[in-house]
Amino acid sequence: IQDMSEIIRIIRETPRIGFLYLSPAVPKSSVKYHYYNLRVVDHEHANKADHCTIGLKGVTRMRDDDETEFVPLDRWEQEHIYFQKLVKIPVFSLFRKWKAFTVWRKNVRKKKISNCKKALNANLFIVNPSLRPALLNVREMCYRISDMGLCKVEKGHTYMLAEFREAQFAQLKEVSSRLEEFRDLVKEVVRSACRTALLEAGFTPDDYFYDGMESPGAPGTASSYMMQSNYDMDIYGEAPDKMTYTEQANKRAHCKRLTCFIHLADYLIVNTMHVLAVNSVSTLLNYLSEQLQNTPSLPEIKGWNQESKEEEGTDNKKAEEDKDDENTQLPPLFTSEMILEPNQLTFSPDEELFQDGLAEVIRGFQDTVLRVQNLVPDTYFDAFTRPIINSKFEEKTCGEGPSLTTMFDDDRHLQDLIRNLREALAGAFNAASQYAETFEPYREFYKENESCDLEAVRQEEHAVVFFGEALERYHRQHKMAEAIIERRAIGMLLVDAIKMKNLLIPSPLRCLDVINDILPVKARKEVDRLIAELQDGQFKLEFVPSTTIEFVNSLTFLDEIQERIEPLQKEAQIVNDMYELIELFTVPTPPEDFAVYQSLNSSINNVLNAIDKSLAERDANIDKFCTHLDKDIAELNKDVKECKQESQNPMILDASADKVQVRKNLDKLQNRMEELQKRAFTFKAYQKNFKVEMTKYDELEEVHAELKLKQLLWDSIDSWDNLMTEWTESKFADLDCEEMSATTVRYAKSVYQLEKGLPPNGVVPMLKERVEGMKDKVCFWLINVVY
């Protein structure tokens, strides 16, 4: 039994046992050994050097190397319980693992540090005493060359796009020459270090005996480190004897190592070129972002052109305030000209040209640094990149070195900078476009003015409202064009509106010249027309009539002029409005036109006075008119009687008379009767217009009715004869019986009307006989057709 709790329970429950011998359950070397890890044994198997006895009184522990210890049973049990809890605490339960792991980790770490130290000493160029000065020298030159800027922007100067490109490419040309000198110096420093390292390794470079060791210096890129070699050798000595295979293999290994050093120099140079290009793009972006911060807000932009609606003095004051504000801000970086077209407002150069120009500048940055070639593929280092081993040049396996082009393509930061640069430029043109939108009314009136056919305007007739609106519109447009700010700073861009202003100003002036030409001419024409009409009316009103027609014309004109005078006054008011416009807008007008215009009102007053006088004499004139009209009516009745006598000619109702002569007499009488009727109608109209008693013309009506019947008689005879001829000559099958019957009935009605209205004569019975005879035949035909 090894469970101490179980052992204590047995001792307490079976006192007769007395006591038990306990020995360690595991040897001291075991990880499970501890003070309470005991098991029950008999006396023979008890460990004499270390054992216990346990009874009801307590536990006695006996060791050879220590005093005998007695512990009461309860205390032993309590201490055992505490011990069990203690060993479960992580500090004690994991102690052995922690100790083993700590010892293992220290050993492994020590070994790794030792291996890394050896590897660094073997591979790290900075710890190599021959290569360290060159490496530090190259790093210092790279640091100094990285301070150069590919981008050159003069603060406070505003560039045209072409000027900006020229300035950048001039800077790139200067930087390119310095970078070329920088590469030559680095090349000499690196080759000198490689030679020194190879010589210290005990090998002679292949080109050592035919190439000097002096290296040129480049102004501005010289290093503070002085290249010194720890290996002093007579460079004019003879070449060593042929190397063994092992020596050649070691030389190959050292040359590969030096090729890696040249690779490192390439990485330093390429990284410097990359940083130089990125910093230049970042610098350009900082310039644009700084300019973009000065961009006014949209409400400010929209409020600028509202100045043109205010007074000129206020405009000038506002322009001066804007100018002062611009002086306190950073001047714009670029200039763009606003171009006015009938259908749109554009910029020159526009956003696309600016984007292309800046993209070309950025490509120039990249092309400039890409001209700095890598050192590894340079034949200048062939003594190390492809040394002569066993009398043969080794194949160059070092490649072309790092690719700066690939770095540009994979550099997300650079791409973000370029994208931000494009967005900044787009933001600048967005603000400029918003500013251009404020000129939309200018473009609209320019388009309207340019599309206006001025010749058609000259030819058309216009109301005074048109002239008022046109003069007000064109003067306002001219004032708006004059108030345009020629150069406006909008953040990054300086918007040049000089050409647009010079194009806008003449536009309303051309239209205004046409209006100024038309208005005085039309006003003078209207004045002349009105004065002529008024003078004519005054003449007619003052004229004394003497005949019936003159009385009629005088009285009629009096009624007409009473209705016409009010429109004349309105037309005169329109003329007044025209001359008020001429005075208000200072339209050039001859002085004599104003003199004629001044007589218009007096002419109207004269006509009004003549109307009043004529109205007072109207009743007397009507009486005179009636007297003259009665004489004319008596003359008319006399003519009617003469016409009646002629219509009683017996030849007209004589069946044997010549038809041609009869028709000729009837036509003559009919024309005369129509003339008499017209005269009678005219007289009735006069009486009706002037509201006097109307005369009746009974005898005229009787004569006219009788003439119409006689005319109908002879017309019916002629038309019946023609029908009979047509029916007789037609085939029987082609005749329409129903139509013939209807025609016959119609003529029978005419015969009945003639018998009733005309006196007895021989012509009507002749027509009746013919119609009746045909009527019987038609009835017979209809009966046969039906049955």
Per-residue confidence (pLDDT) for residue 708, from 0 to 100: 75
DSSP SS3 for 720: helix
User: Do you know the residue count of the chain?
Assistant: 787
Q: Are 275 and 342 in a shared domain?
A: no
Range of the domain at 419: 300-348+415-510
DSSP letters, 30-56, are STT--TT-EEEE-TTTS-TTEEEEEES
Residue 719 within any structural domain of the chain: yes
Distance separating alpha carbons of residues 729 and 297, to the nearest angstrom: 103
Tokens of 452: 């206006």
Segment 90-116, tens digit of pLDDT: 888 888 889 989 999 999 999 999 998
Pseudo-torsion of CA 201, 207, 210, 214, nearest 10°? -70
Cβ 194 vs Cβ 257: under 8 Å: no
Per-residue confidence (pLDDT) for residue 599, from 0 to 100: 87
Cβ 640 vs Cβ 704: under 8 Å: no
- Helices then strands, counting H and E runs in the chain, come out as 26, 11
Q: Are 147 and 75 in a shared domain?
A: no
What percent of the chain clears pLDDT 70, i.e. is strictly above it?
83
The secondary structure element, H or E, covering residue 339 is strand 334-340
Distance separating alpha carbons of residues 164 and 494, to the nearest angstrom: 14
Residue 662 within any structural domain of the chain: yes
Report which DSSP code applies to 125.
G
Q: Are 270 and 384 in a shared domain?
A: yes
Average pLDDT, rounded, for the chain: 80
pLDDT at position 211 over 70: no
Distance separating alpha carbons of residues 478 and 505, to the nearest angstrom: 6
Those residues with Cβ within 8 angstroms of residue 463's Cβ, 6 or more apart along the chain or in another chain = 574
Q: Say if residue 349 is preceded by a cis peptide, omega within 30 of 0.
A: yes
Q: Are 263 and 394 in a shared domain?
A: yes
∠ Cα 179 180 185 (to 5°): 95
Tokens of 441: 């009314």
Picking from 362, 379, 410, the residue at the C-terminal end of a domain is: 410
Per-residue confidence (pLDDT) for residue 170, from 0 to 100: 92
DSSP SS3 for 220: coil
Q: Are 433 and 549 in a shared domain?
A: no
DSSP letters, 161-200, are HHHHHHHHHHHHHHHHHHHHHHHHHHHHHHHHHHHHHHHH
Per-residue confidence (pLDDT) for residue 733, from 0 to 100: 66
Segment 566-605, tens digit of pLDDT: 888 888 888 898 888 888 888 898 888 888 888 888 888 8
Q: Are 308 and 210 in a shared domain?
A: no
Q: Are 652 and 736 in a shared domain?
A: yes
Higher pLDDT, 659 or 213: 659
Cβ 291 vs Cβ 459: under 8 Å: no
pLDDT at position 676 over 90: no
- Residue 628's φ and ψ, nearest 5 degrees, are -65, -35
Distance separating alpha carbons of residues 488 and 552, to the nearest angstrom: 77
Q: Are 308 and 264 in a shared domain?
A: no
Distance separating alpha carbons of residues 352 and 419, to the nearest angstrom: 14
Higher pLDDT, 506 or 635: 506
- CA-nearest of 36, 18, 21 to 81 is 36
pLDDT at position 190 over 90: no
- Side chain identity at 462, as an amino acid letter? H
Per-residue confidence (pLDDT) for residue 221, from 0 to 100: 33
DSSP SS3 for 282: helix
Cα 564 to chain centroid, rounded? 58
Picking from 462, 483, 510, the residue at the C-terminal end of a domain is: 510
Distance separating alpha carbons of residues 721 and 728, to the nearest angstrom: 11
Residue 93 within any structural domain of the chain: no
Residue 537 within any structural domain of the chain: yes
DSSP SS3 for 386: coil
Q: How many domains does the chain have?
A: 5
Sign of the C-alpha dihedral, residues 429, 431, 434, 438?
A: negative
Higher pLDDT, 731 or 569: 569
Residue 58 within any structural domain of the chain: yes
Segment 415-473, tens digit of pLDDT: 999 999 999 999 999 999 888 888 888 888 888 888 888 888 888 888 888 889 888 98
Residue 699 within any structural domain of the chain: yes
Segment 318-341, tens digit of pLDDT: 444 554 444 456 788 899 999 988
Tokens 């019987």 belong to 776
Distance separating alpha carbons of residues 110 and 108, to the nearest angstrom: 5
Tokens of 400: 């072309």
Cβ 758 vs Cβ 709: under 8 Å: yes
What percent of the chain clears pLDDT 90, i.e. is strictly above it?
13
Distance separating alpha carbons of residues 735 and 727, to the nearest angstrom: 7
Residue 107 within any structural domain of the chain: no
Instruction: Annotate 522-564 with three-state secondary structure.
Output: HHHHHHHHHHHHHHHHHHHHHCCCCCHHHHHHHHHHHHHHHHH
Segment 470-479, tens digit of pLDDT: 889 889 989 9
Per-residue pLDDT band at 216 (split at 50, 70, 90) = very low
CATH of the domain at 532: 1.20.58
List beta partners, residue 19: 55
- CA-nearest of 175, 381, 111, 422 to 266 is 381
Out of 303-307, 481-485, 729-733, pick the least confident.
303-307
- CA-nearest of 306, 315, 323, 301 to 483 is 315
Per-residue confidence (pLDDT) for residue 210, from 0 to 100: 52
- Side chain identity at 418, as an amino acid letter? I
Neighbours of 525 (CB within 10 A): 11
Picking from 410, 439, 461, the residue at the C-terminal end of a domain is: 410
**Which of 189-193, 242-246, 307-311, 617-621 has the highest mean predicted lDDT (pLDDT)?**
189-193
Q: Are 421 and 456 in a shared domain?
A: yes
Higher pLDDT, 17 or 714: 17
Q: Are 606 and 741 in a shared domain?
A: no
Out of 120-124, 284-288, 366-370, pick the least confident.
120-124
Residue 491 within any structural domain of the chain: yes
Instruction: Annotate 72-124 with three-state secondary structure.
Output: EHHHHHHHHHHHHHHCCCHHHHCHHHHHHHHHHHHHHHHHHHHHHHHHHHHHC
Sign of the C-alpha dihedral, residues 676, 677, 678, 679?
A: positive
Segment 489-507, tens digit of pLDDT: 888 899 999 999 999 899 8
Pseudo-torsion of CA 457, 459, 464, 468, nearest 10°? 20
Q: Are 574 and 667 in a shared domain?
A: no
Question: Residue 131: is it exposed, middle or buried by C-beta count within 10 angstroms (0-12/13-18/19+)?
Answer: buried
Q: Are 430 and 567 in a shared domain?
A: no
